[in-house]
Amino acid sequence: MPVLTSGQNRAKPSNGWLKSYYYLRFAVSAAWVLAAFTVAKTVPPLAAVMLVAYPLWDALANYVDAQRSGGLRSNRSQLLNFVVSIVTAIAVAIALGRSMNAVLAVYGVWAALSGVFQLLTAVRRWKTNGAQWAMILSGAQSALAGLFFVKMAGGTDAIGIVNVAPYAAFGAFYFLVSAVWLSVSDILRKSPQAAR
């Protein structure tokens, strides 16, 4: 990844980067969901690794994305998302030693907090990049899913990685919608210019 100067960091964010970022987030989440519904649900050690890796991936993704637009200090919502995701990965690793209900409760708190931070990031980006409505919906839905996870964690039903997978699947869907929407918007914006 090229090193950006401070002048470049203050430049208008590139939709090209954001599209690539959203497509990558979709691909990773979709692969995670596929593995969760197939191999991981019958291989507990793999499920455990995946449950810790998912928030770590979110932390890394937020860090890299923030670096493309001024760094974490300039993007407070992503800084908070980065920190919360790191703490979540540690908490999940600890909760795995207790029960899957504890893991789901940790995921619930994380989903609620990260959803709010994602929503704030999308609202900020709307001014510069546009087409952030799907990310706003995703953030709001993540926050609601988090509350549902916490409630489910207090129940008596058997909990496994497949209970988390739909949450990741919705995230993948919203990232794909956002990427496609930005792609279409860019094409439509360039069409009149090409016709001149």
Per residue in 100-134, pLDDT tens?
999 999 999 999 999 999 999 989 888 776 668 88
Q: Is 13 helix (H, G, I), strand (E, B) or coil?
A: coil
Q: Is 38 helix (H, G, I), strand (E, B) or coil?
A: coil
Q: What is the pLDDT of residue 130?
A: 65
Give Cβ neighbours of residue 8 (< 8 Å, ≥ 6 apart). none
Residue-level length of the chain: 196
- Name the nearest CA neighbour of 116 among 154, 151, 76, 161: 76
Q: How far apart are CA 44 and CA 46, in angstroms?
A: 5
CA distances for 86 relative to 10, 90, 154, 192, angstroms: 27, 7, 24, 45
Share of the chain above pLDDT 70, in %: 88
Q: What is the pLDDT of residue 9?
A: 41
Q: What is the pLDDT of residue 99?
A: 94
Token pair recorded at residue 91: 């908490």
Of residues 193 and 20, more confidence is placed in 20
* Cβ atoms of 107 and 151 closer than 8 Å: no
Token pair recorded at residue 108: 């619930």
Per residue in 128-175, pLDDT tens?
766 688 889 999 999 999 999 999 999 888 899 999 999 999 999 999
Q: Is 196 helix (H, G, I), strand (E, B) or coil?
A: coil
User: Average pLDDT of 21-47?
Assistant: 96
